[in-house]
Amino acid sequence: MSQTYGNPVAAPHTTTTNSPARIMSLVMLALAPATLYGFWLYGWPAVYLWLITVGAAMLGEAFSLRLQNRPARPVLLDGSAALTGWLLAVSLPPWAPWWIGVFAGLFATMLGKQAFGGLGQNLFNPAMVARVAVLISFPVQMTAWVAPLPMFSLGAPGPLEGLLIMLRGVPPAFDAVTSATMLGYAKTELSRGIDLFESGLHAPALSFIGNRPGSLGETAAWLIAAGGVAMIGLRLITWHIPLAMLAGIAIPAAILHAVDPARYLDMGTHLLSGGALLGAFFIATDYVTSPNAPRGQLIFGFGCGVFTYIIRTWAGYPEGVAFAVLLMNSMTPIIDTYFKPRIYGRDRKGKPLQTTN
């Protein structure tokens, strides 16, 4: 019996059942609890905004693929565009108008990812690129935060009303709802000369209940952290970047708060507010834009954390995660070049080991 088996196929002849789609789905699953909580907290406008942003991100990807004459369906099914849109959506103000979502979503996938060559080729985190672009272009809408108005509570908009809010903007009836985030409030008060003791901030531990306004990714801080730990447990990410980034925020915060408590926020507030936890677990750990080796990842994470703290404390914006991540993304190739893992049989510099025999 003689039979041919086609063209030579290289070893290995077996592989795991993993796939990019599986990885993206698990990350989205880890984000889901926080997102659903945010939906409940901010009501229908947030749901619609999320839908529009994710939809725009996927539309941008499909359009870019069409321009390249490539079939869109297989690429969209790998879930990376949806995940980019999701991360973007949870970093926007929950009651932002629809066109912010559309602009940001299209920007993220078209200019943040496909323009570089698609999955795996971009230098900067697409969600953060889009968020920064929208923040700089439309600062008014991007800093219009609302206090939480849980979905079925008195005065909260119903589904149709929520749709109208998203489409037409926040009507005067909800003016009392607009408010600032904790970091924004602290910065504004400090710039007015009122120090932290007087501005009477609430205890940061209550952030998770949602007493203070923020984006979907900010308010449910503990749920985000739980999702992040779950991802580490599932081996989607390692502990290096999250720990390093949180250390990069916590250490300067603790030191400076000890030096001058009236001027500098404490470590707990910093860690639980803004996009610190979202950034540490979901954004800075993006595979494509972060270094490959453990030592490089620690440096990258720490840099993200330190930059976040610097921008929050001394720069013009109250929230620094997006800028910090982009700055460190630009350093990733250099970090990768200088911090490679040690090769078996070679020393740290790459020279062969000396024989002792």
Where along the sequence are the contacts to another protein (CB under 8 A)? 1-6, 8-16, 18-20, 22-23, 70, 78, 80, 117-121, 287-288, 292-293, 336, 340-346, 350, 352-357
CB of 133 to another protein, least distance (A): 23
Closest CB to another protein among 36 and 293?
Answer: 293
Residues β-bridged to residue 145: 179
Q: Give the span between the Cα atoms of 143 and 152, in whole angstroms.
A: 25
Closest CB to another protein among 191 and 356?
Answer: 356
If one counts every other C-beta atom within 10 angstroms of the C-beta of residue 291, the result is: 25
Q: Do 236 and 23 touch, CB atoms closer than 8 A?
A: yes
- Give the end-to-end CA distance of the chain in Å, rounded to a whole number: 54
Closest CB to another protein among 99 and 239?
Answer: 239
CB of 332 to another protein, least distance (A): 10
The helix/strand/coil state of 238 is: coil
Q: Do 96 and 216 touch, CB atoms closer than 8 A?
A: no
CB of 295 to another protein, least distance (A): 12
CB of 89 to another protein, least distance (A): 21
Q: In sequence order, which ranges of 220-275 are alpha helices (DSSP H)?
A: 221-233, 240-259, 267-272
Closest CB to another protein among 180 and 237?
Answer: 237
Q: Give the span between the Cα atoms of 263 and 257, in whole angstroms.
A: 8
Closest CB to another protein among 293 and 310?
Answer: 293
The tokens of 58 are what? Answer: 């996927």
Q: Give the span between the Cα atoms of 25 and 79, in whole angstroms.
A: 7
The tokens of 22 are what? Answer: 């599986």
- Contacts by residues 1-10 (CB-CB < 8 Å, ≥ 24 positions apart): none
CB of 17 to another protein, least distance (A): 9
Closest CB to another protein among 128 and 149?
Answer: 128
CB of 31 to another protein, least distance (A): 18
Closest CB to another protein among 31 and 180?
Answer: 31
Closest CB to another protein among 12 and 200?
Answer: 12
CB of 329 to another protein, least distance (A): 12
Q: Do 54 and 82 touch, CB atoms closer than 8 A?
A: yes
CB of 331 to another protein, least distance (A): 15
Q: Give the span between the Cα atoms of 141 and 44, in whole angstroms.
A: 18
The tokens of 229 are what? Answer: 């730990």
